[in-house]
Homo-oligomer: A and B are copies of this chain.
């Protein structure tokens, strides 16, 4: 099943996607809902971020090639993460599929995409094991962990490097049947393929992260976990359009524009 969050005439709803039609619901899949006999063509609604998480988790370095490339660029020894230690991103930066990523006017030219699988939590969970970890997962969506590398290197925290407004596109929908096992992540810039990797070739997979996290933390319905990225991005410029496709899941598309 595919869940979308959308607006019509300034009102925001959840809906179930059936082909090109959206069936509206009252409520939310994270609490309770009732299906309504109201339908919209997908093209007629305004897509919204599919969930505003209570906590926005992000794995950071979680694919070997990306970690090695990052180390090389920084002139450091490769430093593959020895344990599944989760990081964070910020809700202010979230935007929906189709919305513009605004590059701050004082940002350097080192603006990069990171196409990521996103896990959406459906049930309150603590002390999960690898074996039962997936039982708290509601579904999957796609994230673009947009990064300004000069700030990422220079600042004490990832605040503006990763969390400037619009730097976290997420969507377009949540797929509850998706299985990352054989999926391929493909990132295109202006229609040209730039990065292709096996979605599931993570250093630490989803059950491993959920087991590690829930030893100390309660996961709540609506929490998201961004699973990291592989490969590396060219420098993006104003006017570029970035499409992140995860096969069997969806495509997340966002134009980039430098602030005047």
Q: Hey, which bits of chain A sit against chain B, CB under 8 A?
A: 52, 54-55, 57, 60, 81, 83, 85-88, 90-93, 104, 126, 155-157, 159-160, 163-165, 213, 215-220, 223
The answer on a CB contact under 8 Å between B85 and A155 is yes
Query: With a CB–CB cut-off of 8 A, which chain B residues contact A52?
Result: 54
Q: CB < 8 Å: which of B126, B159, B217 contacts A213?
A: B159
Query: Across the interface, which residues of B come within 8 angstroms of A86, CB to CB?
Result: 157, 159
Q: Choose one: B83, B155, B217; the contact of A90 (CB below 8 Å).
A: B217
Pair A163/B217 contact, Cβ less than 8 Å: yes
Extra pairs beyond A85-B157, A104-B216 (11, CB < 8 Å): A54-B92, A55-B90, A60-B156, A81-B156, A86-B157, A92-B217, A92-B218, A92-B223, A159-B213, A159-B216, A165-B218
The 8 Å CB contact of A87, one of B81, B157, B213, is B157
B164 contacts A216, C-beta separation under 8 Å: yes
Contacts of A87 in B (CB 8 A): 156-157, 159
Q: Please indicate which of the listed interface residues A86, A87, A159, A223 has the most CB atoms of chain B within 10 Å of its own CB.
A: A159
Q: Given known contacts A86-B157, A88-B157, A159-B86, is B165 in contact with A216 (CB within 8 Å)? A: yes
Known: A85-B159, A90-B88, A159-B87. A217 touches B165 (CB 8 A): yes
Choose among B92, B104, B218 the residue that contacts A219 (Cβ–Cβ < 8 A).
B92
How many Å lie between the Cα of A34 and that of B25 in the bound state? 28
CB-defined contacts of A157 to chain B, threshold 8 Å: 60, 85-88
The 5 A-B residue pairs whose C-beta atoms are closest, nearest first, are A164-B216, A160-B216, A87-B157, A85-B156, A55-B90
Which B-chain residue is minimally distant from A58 (CB atoms)? B157
Smallest Cβ distance from A11 to chain B, in angstroms? 15
Complex: how many Å from CA A90 to CA B55?
6
A71 to chain B, nearest CB (A): 14
Q: Which residues of B contact A217 (CB under 8 A)?
A: 90, 92-93, 159-160, 163-165
Q: List 20 A-B contacts (CB under 8 A).
A: A52-B54, A54-B91, A54-B92, A55-B90, A60-B157, A83-B155, A85-B155, A85-B156, A85-B157, A86-B157, A86-B159, A87-B156, A88-B157, A88-B159, A90-B217, A92-B217, A160-B216, A160-B217, A164-B217, A165-B218
